[in-house]
C-alpha cells in the first residue's frame, strides 16, 4: 500500500493533485485544506497517502498533515461515510474545528458541512466523540492565566470556536472549576458548566 508520496507536483486543483515520483504520475484526491497547503506546481511536494482499494478501483487520497489523514480514516469507520464524503467534510471545515465540534457534540456546526445531514452528524458524534482525545487541539492560555490541563484547553478551544471571546471563555472555565474542581478532569462536564456560566 502507498502511504507517502514525495515528488514533483505536476498539477493541482482544489480536489486533485498529480505528483510525479520516479517518472510515474500519481493521481491523488485531496481536500481544499491540503490544496491550500501545497506548494506551486513544478516544485517538490509531500503528501501523506491513504490507499483506498475497491474491487474495481484503487484510489489515492492525499493529506498535507498527518492529523487530517487520521481524521479522514476515522470518518471512514462510520457507516454511510465513504472516502468522497470524508474528503468533502474535511474540505468544509478545518481539522481542529471538526475535532472540537465532534467532542462537544456541536451538531449545528456539523450539519453546516456540505453532505452532512442531521442523522449523519448524530452518528459522527456518537461513534467518534470518545475516540479523538489524542487529537484535541490545545489552545495556549494567555500569559499569567492558570493552566488547568487538557480538559480546560479543549473547553477553551470549543468556546473560542463557537465565537466567544477568549477572555470571556477563560473566565467561564475558571468560574466553573472554582464551583466544582472535579470538572477540571472532564471535558464534557467542564464545557457544559462553562456554557452555563457564560449564559
pLDDT tens by residue, 176-188: 888 888 888 888 8
**Strand, coil or helix: 86:** helix
| pLDDT bucket at 7, cuts 50 / 70 / 90 | very high
pLDDT greater than 60 at residue 141: no
When the candidates are 3.30.2420.10, 2.40.50.140, 3.40.1160.10, 1.10.260.40, the CATH number that belongs to 4-63 is: 2.40.50.140
pLDDT at 142: 38
- Beta-carbon contacts of 171 under 8 Å, excluding residues fewer than 6 positions away, are 197
Q: Which three cell numbers stand for residue 163?
A: 465565537
- Please report, for the chain, the start and end positions of each structural domain, with discontinuous segments joined by +: 4-63, 66-134, 138-198
Please state which CATH class domain 66-134 belongs to. mainly alpha
For range 125-144, the mean pLDDT: 65
pLDDT greater than 80 at residue 150: no
| Pair 101, 116: CB distance under 8 Å | no
What is this structure's pTM?
A: 0.67
Q: b/e string for 2-31 if b means 16 or more Cβ within 10 A? A: eeebebebeebeebebbbbeeeeebebbbb
Q: Which three cell numbers stand for residue 192?
A: 457544559
pLDDT greater than 90 at residue 151: no
For range 77-94, the mean pLDDT: 90
| Pair 5, 26: CB distance under 8 Å | yes
Least Cα distance to 185 among 159, 151, 153, 139 occurs for 151
**Strand, coil or helix: 106:** coil
pLDDT greater than 90 at residue 132: no
Amino acid at each position: 500500500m502507498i502511504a507517502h508520496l514525495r515528488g514533483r507536483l505536476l498539477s493541482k486543483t482544489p480536489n486533485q493533485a498529480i505528483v510525479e515520483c520516479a517518472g510515474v504520475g500519481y493521481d491523488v484526491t485531496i481536500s481544499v485544506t491540503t490544496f491550500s497547503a501545497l506548494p506551486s506546481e513544478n516544485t517538490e511536494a509531500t503528501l501523506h497517502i491513504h490507499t483506498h482499494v475497491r474491487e474495481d478501483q484503487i484510489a489515492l487520497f492525499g493529506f498535507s498533515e498527518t492529523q487530517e489523514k487520521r481524521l479522514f480514516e476515522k470518518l471512514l469507520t462510520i457507516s454511510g461515510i465513504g472516502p468522497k464524503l470524508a474528503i468533502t467534510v474535511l474540505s468544509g471545515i478545518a481539522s481542529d474545528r471538526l475535532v472540537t465540534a465532534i467532542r462537544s457534540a456541536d451538531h449545528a456546526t456539523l450539519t453546516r458541512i456540505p453532505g452532512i445531514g442531521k442523522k449523519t452528524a448524530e452518528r459522527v458524534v456518537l461513534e467518534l466523540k470518545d475516540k479523538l482525545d489524542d487529537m484535541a487541539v490545545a489552545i495556549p492560555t494567555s500569559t499569567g492565566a492558570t493552566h488547568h490541563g487538557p480538559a480546560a484547553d479543549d473547553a477553551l478551544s470549543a468556546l473560542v470556536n463557537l465565537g466567544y471571546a477568549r477572555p470571556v471563555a477563560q473566565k467561564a472555565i475558571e468560574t466553573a472549576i472554582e464551583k466544582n474542581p472535579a470538572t477540571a478532569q472532564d471535558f464534557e462536564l467542564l464545557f457544559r458548566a462553562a456554557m452555563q456560566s457564560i449564559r
